[in-house]
Amino acid sequence: MHTYQFVPLQFNEMQPQQMLENSLEFYKSIQCRRTVRDFSDRHVPIEIIENCVRAAGTAPNGANLQPWHFSIVTDPSIKSQIRQGAEIEEREFYNGKAPQEWLDALAPLGTDEHKPFLEIAPYLIVIFSKTHDELPDGKTVKHYYPAESVGIATGMLITALHQSGLATLTHTPSPMKFLNQILDRPKFERPFLILVAGYPADDAKVPNITKKPLDEIATYH
């Protein structure tokens, strides 16, 4: 068994007024994040994406085993394969597989099986969740709370991309196993979602939705 060396915490204590201002500023900024379905093909430097993935990789996670993998896709032929694979699944989803109740819930958003953004946007970040690692000697290392860990990391990635001036779309064709084959990932990695990232199209439109107010989402005890 090994134990970590424990080192002093680097903690930036702020003045309470500063804390209040920062919390409000952050809320104002993240409130403007919107899920975008109309992307521009405008170039985005990869360093921005890499910094955001680095940020995601700092997420809290089970036993610090970091049960994630991020496939950063820019190659047009791979994007095209992903679009084809996703549209096959989505066509089934929208034309019989999805229960009517689900389709009714989606109807106001106007989503359908056509996913041109998978080829237009400059980046697809495919996030994989790993139930375990396989070491070169064949041994396996079990991971803990992979779903929670990868969910948190993905939230941080979306937030980092937003703070970096980029629009995103969380896309979840179901099932997503076709991504393992296209991206050459081992079968113990499970596709979690495709995060589409880039500039929005000049004429991008989003639905006029609202978020629940604090008193509907929080209680005090």
What residues between 57 and 116 interact with ligand IYR by CB under 6 A?
90, 93, 106, 111
The DSSP element (H or E) to which 129 belongs, if any, is strand 123-130
Rg (alpha carbons) of the chain, rounded to whole number: 20
Residue type, 212: K
DSSP state at residue 64: G
Is 90 or 189 the residue whose CB approaches ligand IYR more closely? 90
Single out the segment in contact with ligand IYR by CB under 6 A; choices: 120-128, 139-147, 153-161, 172-180: 172-180
Which candidate, 164, 187, 163, 160, places its Cα nearest to that of 176?
A: 187
Single out the segment in contact with ligand IYR by CB under 6 A; choices: 18-26, 122-130, 170-178, 204-212: 170-178
CA distance 149 to 66: 8
Residue 139: Cβ within 10 Å count: 9
Is 24 or 109 the residue whose CB approaches ligand IYR more closely? 109
Is 113 or 148 the residue whose CB approaches ligand IYR more closely? 113
Is 48 or 98 the residue whose CB approaches ligand IYR more closely? 98
Q: Minimum distance between the CB of residue 118 and ligand IYR, rounded to whole angstroms?
A: 10
Does residue 172 touch ligand IYR according to CB under 6 A? yes
CA distance 66 to 129: 9
Residues forming the site for ligand IYR (CB under 6 A): 90, 93, 106, 111, 171-174
